[in-house]
Amino acid sequence: MTDKGDLPNPARDGAESAAAGAPEAAAPLTGPTTAAPQTPLDSAPVDSIEFERGAGPILTQEGKSQGQIVWEQFRRHKAALVGGWILVFMYLSAIFAGFLAPYGINEYRRSPSAAFRPPTQVHWTDPDTGRLTRPFVYDVVEARDPITRQRVYEEVTDVRYPIKFLVHRPSQPYKILGLFKSDLHLFGVDDPARVFLWGTNNLGKDLFSRVLYGGQVSLTIGILAVWVAFFLGLLLGGIAGYYGGLVDDIIMRLVEVFAAIPGLFLLIVLASLLRDPANPLAKAFGLQMTSAQTFLLTVVVLGFVGWGGLARVIRSLILSARELDYAAAAKALGAGESRILWRHLLPSTASYVIVDLTLSIPGFILAETGLSFLGLGPSELDTASWGLLLRDATARGISIQFVPWLLIPGIPILFAVLCWNLLGDGLRDAFDPKKRR
């Protein structure tokens, strides 16, 4: 690997330079990929790179596209890669939640109840011979500790229930991506035994299955809300930045108004008032507040509260980009205003926007779990969300030291947010020409 890839490319750092109002970004990458004069940049401090860039177009010999360069840079960012892979794993497990989860999202047994079961012990060795064997579980009966009156669970060691793989459970069908119907589950045990890898909640619902299903809500809501915020921010920020004047004033005042109200309270008020099916808006649209509708409502509310910052950033990027030569050139060539806005100015903000979007997803995930934790997120009827699952742990009359497994849903939240942050930081570094390695 030579230092070719390290050369600053004038065309690829549009957003950052544009944000700083630097004129270099205007120098277009034109001409054939001839060998440009190469300067020993390794020894040069950062400042002189800026200078070299201004001196004229420095072309890489291979003429890599920005995408290739960014991808190359990104691949070297180990933490971001790990974060990315963990996210892929998490999203896959959310997609295939129905298959991976042994039980349904709301499946529970009335009698005998399996409430507050600790994680089921899976036995790997034969208790008689001590040898490795096919993993199995015992059925468990509930009893009360005679002194503390706490629930205790005892294994009935008479019958072993081996863990079976790829079992059909016609009573618990599911759909993958809403398309493929199936009742095949990765693993399960025969009745009356149960395998609760992460224990159960107060009704005896399997936490492992619910965490998997919860990922479907908690992982997608962040992304969807970002798109809502992005759409609003792009539209309003773009318009404000491009047209300026009175339009700009009005939109920016609106952003200020939104920024002035504390976000958490605004979120709580909107979420709690809108989710009531009797509220005027729901009536006007004929909403019944099914779980799908509360899900969408949460997305819209999150995006609605979060668009301001994005709009402000896009506006400032466009304000500076508008003054650049290529916008003037497009205008001189007779391009209409909307064409300049959509085809020339907004794409130049792309790299910044990608990074900003990635880095705002974790915030939305956290906000969603917070709302769900208060019971103001997607409704509990036939969805789960990690925040909602954590709510079980603070329900009235629960002492967490006896049911510590109820805190497990917090761990995937932590991982999801952590990995999105790592991914976003990696992308930011990859797009930043100053941080090229």
From CA 192, how far away is CA 206, in angstroms rounded? Answer: 15
User: Which stretches of 323-409 are DSSP H helices?
Assistant: 325-332, 337-339, 346-348, 350-373, 386-392
Residues 9-48 that bind another protein (CB under 8 A): none
90/413 with CB nearer another protein? 413
**Please, which residues bridge with residue 138 across strands?**
160
- Of the candidate spans 26-34, 150-158, 335-343, 415-423, the one that interacts with another protein by CB under 8 A turns out to be 415-423
404 is a contact residue toward another protein (CB under 8 A): yes
Give the x/- contact pattern for another protein in 261-280, rule: CB under 8 A. Answer: xx-xxx-xxx-xxx-x-xxx
Question: Per CB under 8 A, does 73 bind another protein?
Answer: no
| Contact call for residue 134 and another protein (CB under 8 A) | no
Report if residue 202 touches another protein, rule: CB under 8 A: no
Of 308, 280, 276, 315, residue with least CA distance to 294: 276
| ∠ Cα 206 201 135 (to 5°) | 40
In angstroms, the CA 362 to CA 421 distance is 7
Q: Which of 266, 212, 265, 254 has its CA nearest to residue 91?
A: 212
From the list 5-13, 132-140, 156-164, 391-399, the region that binds another protein by CB under 8 A is: 391-399
Identify the residue whose tokens are 């609605």. Answer: 304
Is residue 362 part of the contact set for another protein (CB under 8 A)?
yes
> Cβ distance 367 to 267 under 8 Å?
yes
Question: What is the total count of residues that contact another protein (CB under 8 A)?
Answer: 45
Q: Does 361 bind another protein (CB under 8 A)?
A: no
Q: How far is CA 211 from the centre of its chain?
A: 16
Residue 288 binds another protein, judged by CB under 8 A = no
Q: Which of 35, 177, 246, 260 binds another protein (CB under 8 A)?
A: 260
413 lies in the site for another protein, by CB under 8 A? yes
Part of the chain binding another protein (CB under 8 A), chosen from 95-103, 109-117, 171-179, 388-396: 388-396
Closest among 163, 162, 120 to 141, alpha carbons compared: 120
CA-based angle 26:32:35, to the nearest 5? 100
Shortest gap between Cβ of 181 and another protein (angstroms)?
Answer: 35
Enumerate binding residues for another protein (CB under 8 A).
Answer: 253-254, 256-258, 260-262, 264-266, 268-270, 272-274, 276, 278-281, 362, 366, 369-370, 373-374, 387, 390, 393-394, 399-401, 404, 407, 410, 413-415, 417-418, 421-422
